[in-house]
Amino acid sequence: MKKDIIIGMLVGLIANSIGLLAAATLLGNGDDFTNVIKAAANEGFLGKLISLGAVLNLIAFFIFIKKRQDYRARGVLLITVFIAVFTFIFKLY
């Protein structure tokens, strides 16, 4: 049970990282990833970029639900909630 939740959390982190990379690449106008992240932080939309990256977590969640791997889906959901709280706190400061 704990192993499946941890696997789901890792899948959620990897999916979010890939989504963030894809969003930065698509919205970055050909700039380097680190430059896009720095510009997003300076202009105040880094939280939105991270949230956009979390869309891939939705796909991973539904794949785990369809395969009846509920504990892995729970791990993905935990990471998604953590990312939501992180972006909310990040926007406050």
Percent of the chain residues topping a pLDDT of 70: 100
pTM over 0.75? The answer is: yes
Reading phi first (left if > 0) and then psi (alpha if -120 to 50, else beta), residue 68 is in: left
Query: Each residue of 17-51: pLDDT tens digit?
Result: 999 988 888 887 777 888 888 888 888 888 888 88
CA distance 89 to 15: 21
Taking the alpha carbons at both ends of the chain, their separation in whole angstroms is 36
Collapsed DSSP state (helix, strand, coil) of residue 86: helix
